[in-house]
Chain A
Amino acid sequence: MTSKNKWLSSPYILWSVMFIIIPLGMIFYYGLTDKTGAFTLENITAIATAEHAKALWLSLLLSIISTVICFLLAYPLAMILSNMKVNQHSFIILIFILPMWMNFLLRTLAWQTLLEKNGVINSILNFLHLPGMNIINTPYAIILGMVYNFLPFMVLPLYNVLSKIDENVLDASRDLGAGSVHTFFRIILPLSIPGIISGITMVFVPALTTFVISTLLGGSKILLIGNVIEQEFTQASNWHLGSGLSIVLMIFIILNMIASAIFDKEGEGSML
């Protein structure tokens, strides 16, 4: 299979240029020009205005917290799953993808029902004589929504790298005198770095840029950077400003991509 099928790649190359490269170029074009078409950095520096900076700061804060929580929840789970020795690798992936077959907006909305003042969770807490919690329409509800929506994207890459670790390598570590704590920190954790990086990327980027979760669970008061950009496009119709803020957002995404390229050269941490 050599030069003969060089032309085979042309449909995909054409498609990528048309629908990936050029559109990204357009964002840069709009982001770096004003309404008259003249070059300007104003749309980028607009991030420094109090309103935008606050939204970006809140987005960063909530997405980092969510990513950390996802990691802490997912790592033990991925270890448990990878130790189960289920032959059915695909089954494990399936149970995490299955929820996606129920619309993600509805699933997120369902948390309203669960979290409401007289909702399911508070009723249970009440029944157990525990203090109720009132987190709906607060940043906490947004964090919960983020963790809920993106947790599978952390579990799957971790599960993937952990289940690929050779059992013999762990035996070798024990054989050389290492206890389970030592084996975890010196062998398992370093070997799972590609999965960790990939998981962090898969959670952090959508959490940082979401506008849906904040709309559904945060009430209308809490604005994330995603909400600001979305409004510039759908309500204010200031595409230049929206594009400029998107470029700022992409800087964070690119930083994340560079980090994952450094740590995961082999692409071992992929989700599938």
Chain B
Amino acid sequence: MKNTAKHIYTALIFLFLYAPIATLMVLSFNASKTRSKWGGFTINWYSRLFQNEEILEALGNTLLIAVVSAFVATIIGTIACVAMTGMKKRSRTILMGITNIPMLNAEIVTGISLMLLFISMGLRFGLGTILLSHITFNIPYVILSVMPRMKQLNPSTYEAALDLGASHVTAFFKVVFPDLLPGVLSGFLMAFTMSLDDFIITHFTKGAGVDTLSTKIYTEVKKGIKPEMYALSTLIFITVLILLLLVNMAPAKNKTPKNPKPL
């Protein structure tokens, strides 16, 4: 009884979270151009998608920005984590506090603050400014996923490597880094996702004529979203879903089935 209630509740929440996604997927097969009418099944939008250069360019920009910004943020963030463990507690607290600002601050404020900065620096608004902004809001995600790993690290392993004759650099890459790797990877993935999904900050830091998928959709809202957009987002979502399922399935085989109960 109680369990059924729990299952129904969980199912309802997931329905709530995933209903819009299902809606978009259905719309991507809708022959009618308007959202509100079902005009029969078609895969027309999928083939049209690959002829729509504007959308493909926006997709290219989005992916480029996501990959580059996540990559740069991962490097800077990981180095920052290593550096912070060697710091005095006081300066570490201050730096972590600064790290939290982009996470806790409103995106609109981060967006306009960067916009004001770029204007005063006289930068030309375009891919470059979007990249700088995305790296800025991505670094905290990397730090927050690497830092817990860093804290779990046994400092003796690093010292043991030195003791066994490794140089500082070798010791770091052979001993410390492999332990950090899961955190680094999840940080990268987090950063990539955040960059991909961002609209607000890009909205303020992009230049005219440069669009990511988000900003493209936003400009289309008034005149009506092109159904190709639904097709594209369905494709992206399904691809990610399959990739994640594969990743999640693979290590599951090696794991022991369940934690043994306490005896």
CB 8 Å contact bits of B210-228 with A (1 = contact, 0 = none):
0001100110010001000
* Alpha-carbon distance between A113 and B34 when the two chains are bound, in angstroms: 10
Q: Which A residues touch B255, using CB under 8 A?
A: 87
Contact B109 A12 (CB under 8 A): no
CB 8 Å contact bits of A102-115 with B (1 = contact, 0 = none):
11111111111110
* Alpha-carbon distance between A152 and B13 when the two chains are bound, in angstroms: 10
Contact B76 A106 (CB under 8 A): no
Q: Which B residues touch A30, using CB under 8 A?
A: 116
Q: Which B residues touch A103, using CB under 8 A?
A: 197, 199, 213-214, 217, 233
Is A125 part of the binding interface, using a Cβ–Cβ cutoff of 8 Å?
A: no
Q: Say how far A202's CB is from chain B's closest CB, in angstroms.
A: 9
* Alpha-carbon distance between A40 and B213 when the two chains are bound, in angstroms: 39
Given contacts A80-B9, A111-B20, contact A250 B236 (CB under 8 A): no
* Alpha-carbon distance between A118 and B132 when the two chains are bound, in angstroms: 44
Contact B35 A112 (CB under 8 A): yes
* Alpha-carbon distance between A226 and B111 when the two chains are bound, in angstroms: 12
Contact A205 B104 (CB under 8 A): yes
Given contacts A26-B116, A233-B204, contact A250 B105 (CB under 8 A): yes
Q: Which residue of B lies closest to A96 (CB)?
A: B17
Contact B86 A2 (CB under 8 A): yes
Is B43 part of the binding interface, using a Cβ–Cβ cutoff of 8 Å?
A: no
Contact A8 B117 (CB under 8 A): no
Contact A253 B108 (CB under 8 A): no
* Alpha-carbon distance between A95 and B200 when the two chains are bound, in angstroms: 24
* Alpha-carbon distance between A238 and B61 when the two chains are bound, in angstroms: 30
Contact B155 A91 (CB under 8 A): no
Contact B27 A249 (CB under 8 A): no
Q: Chain B interface: which of A17-25, A42-50, A126-134, A182-190? A: A17-25
Q: Say how far B186's CB is from chain A's closest CB, in angstroms.
A: 7
Is B154 part of the binding interface, using a Cβ–Cβ cutoff of 8 Å?
A: no
- The 6 listed contacts between A and B (C-beta, < 8 Å) are A19-B135, A22-B117, A76-B9, A246-B112, A253-B106, A272-B190
